[in-house]
Amino acid sequence: MYKKSALLTFYAETPIHMGAGQSVSYVDLPIQRERHTSFPVLWASGIKGVIRDLALREWNDKDKVEIIFGPQDGSDFASCISITDAKILLYPVRSVKGVFAWITCPFVLKRFKEDLKAVGVEFKHNNQEIQIPDVSDDKVFIANDNLKIQGQNNVALEEFVFGAEVKDEVNKLAEKLMKFIPQNDLTNNLANHLAIVSNNVFKDFVNYAVEIRTRIRIDQALGTVKSGALFSEELIPSESIFYSLVFITDPYFGIEKELYDRFLKAYDSEVNWDGAKEQIKNEIENLKQSQNKEDKEKASKLEEEFNKIKDKVEERMKKAYENDYFVAHSENKNSIIKEFENLLNQKIGNEVKNSLLQLGGDETIGKGYVSVKFYSFQGGQQ
């Protein structure tokens, strides 16, 4: 059972290619897509691997990385962090006016609303529910006149013209989304670029308004173009915005919950490791002395579990306990969710800097760079 949850959002600084590994079209290297919608998606395995690598470089502590992300071979114990596939939220397309538009659709927004609900967040603006309007295929809902063709009540996206309607709901939506996504000069003016199109139009744009690049292979021996080695590659355009959910539970140390909870109580009370062990030993002895049969049985189970805390198990537990990543979330001490937040949202003075990750390989040609924002919902934050 997961104890804490959070939202990760990704802003594409450069085009992204996270490959699907197979192709049934003219594109040799297609991007990852959802099976049921054909919308672009970033698979969780690639995201988690990149964040794990970042943690290893930033923390320079293999034991800490393994306790939080799980061991690389996955055989000793499980990771205490689960990351979902990153779904598309806003997709950039060309606009005759305003340079480009970020499009979304009712299906995407309703799904985002349900995903937020899963992590305990209501889709509200100033305590009022944000209404998600249905849009016809020939219409676009916008927040203001920034995308309108001059002198017309139309918006031109890619090669298509749509009737435009200014809606206050789009403005409210832009203000809400700005809280979640990485901030820069463009996202700070989200309302000027945001457009809601129909589900059908959105599906067409995310399938056909993509970048296709034809590339060549070089003969490593000769340093020239290899004969017959042309291939095409599909790319998610820069300025695309995705989101993923993060679920965090307590670390796995191979002991039962009742004993672990006693350590947590000592941890929250800021008792040191040796003191916590001594305190729990005394609690077990007191239960042994009880005349109550249930207390004696409990003491026997606790003692059996306590005796497991030795060698590598004790080494891992002690290190996590003393270095403040012993629990998913704590009111009084540092915790895994805080470590994760500090990793992805780095504080520089009074400002928070979002981490820059590289997804999908191709570091040498600058593809796949994304800004990442970690948004946790602690203390009823909306």
Q: What is the pLDDT of residues 305-330, one digit of tens each?
A: 999 999 989 999 999 999 999 999 98
The pLDDT > 70 percentage for the chain reads 93
**What confidence score (pLDDT) does residue 22 get?**
66
Asked if the structure places residue 342 within a domain, the reply is yes
**What confidence score (pLDDT) does residue 118 get?**
86
Do 80 and 42 sit in the same domain of this protein? yes
Domain, as residue range, for 264: 257-307
Q: Which structure tokens are listed for 209? A: 């308004």
| CA separation for the pair 321, 327 (Å, rounded) | 8
pLDDT in tens, 329-341: 988 889 999 999 9
**What confidence score (pLDDT) does residue 74 get?**
66
Q: Is residue 82 helix, strand or coil?
A: strand
Across 139-288, where does the E strand assignment appear?
A: 139-142, 154-157, 160-166, 194-196, 211-215, 231-235, 241-248
Do 115 and 262 sit in the same domain of this protein? no
Do 176 and 293 sit in the same domain of this protein? no
Indicate the average pLDDT of the chain.
Answer: 91
Do 291 and 372 sit in the same domain of this protein? no
Asked if the structure places residue 327 within a domain, the reply is no
Do 52 and 94 sit in the same domain of this protein? yes
Asked if the structure places residue 31 within a domain, the reply is yes
* The Cα angle at residue 225 between residues 220 and 228, in degrees rounded to 5: 110
Mean pLDDT along residues 214-226? 71
Mean pLDDT along residues 284-299? 93
Do 244 and 291 sit in the same domain of this protein? no
Asked if the structure places residue 14 within a domain, the reply is yes
Do 158 and 270 sit in the same domain of this protein? no
Q: In Å, how far from its chain's centre is CA 46?
A: 11
**What confidence score (pLDDT) does residue 181 get?**
95
**What confidence score (pLDDT) does residue 379 get?**
44
- pLDDT at 356 > cutoff 50: yes
Do 41 and 134 sit in the same domain of this protein? yes
**Least confident piece of the model among 86-90, 126-130, 146-150, 214-218:** 214-218
Provide the pairing of β-strand 139-142 with 41-42: unpaired
Q: Which structure tokens are listed for 90? A: 């806003």
The total number of structural domains in the chain stands at 2
* 297 φ, ψ (degrees, to nearest 5): -65, -40
**Least confident piece of the model among 65-74, 98-107, 157-166, 311-320:** 65-74
Asked if the structure places residue 324 within a domain, the reply is no
Asked if the structure places residue 318 within a domain, the reply is no
Asked if the structure places residue 330 within a domain, the reply is no
Asked if the structure places residue 75 within a domain, the reply is yes
pLDDT in tens, 76-112: 788 999 999 999 999 999 999 999 999 999 999 999 9
**What confidence score (pLDDT) does residue 380 get?**
40
* The Cα angle at residue 163 between residues 162 and 167, in degrees rounded to 5: 115
- pLDDT at 382 > cutoff 50: no
